[in-house]
Amino acid sequence: MKFDWEIDLDGKRLRLHIGQRAIILLKEKWGLEDDEAVRSRINNLKSGPVRGYADFLWASLQEHHPEITWQDACEFFEALGIGGVGASLARRRAIPPADNENRS
């Protein structure tokens, strides 16, 4: 399942995308074993470390904005704050489990 949405940041419209690429990047960044663990962590960002929001923002920008570094995403996150990223996530429903054929 894929999700796309846009945010405005400093007059720039950025398109975020959660798909398999973002799941793979987060699995690697967070040192998790499988896709379901990543989905669970995404769905529970508010109960984890603040860094999780910045990681999520970075990974979700990579599909359409691969030039954005993790450091850039941290700066964007700082500008948006948890409320901004959280509000963006609240407009999306929970990340559903992948089809069995897409599991790692």
What is the distance between the alpha carbons of residues 81 and 59, in angstroms, rounded to a whole number? 17
| pLDDT tens digits, one per residue of 43-92 | 888 888 888 888 998 999 999 999 999 999 888 878 777 666 655 555 55
pLDDT band at 98 (very low <50, low <70, confident <90, very high): low
Q: Taking the CA atoms of 29, 63, 72 and 52 in sequence, report the sign of the dihedral they define.
A: negative
Least confident of 6-10, 33-37, 48-52, 61-65: 6-10
| In the chain, domain spans | 3-102
Q: What's the predicted TM-score (pTM) here? A: 0.74
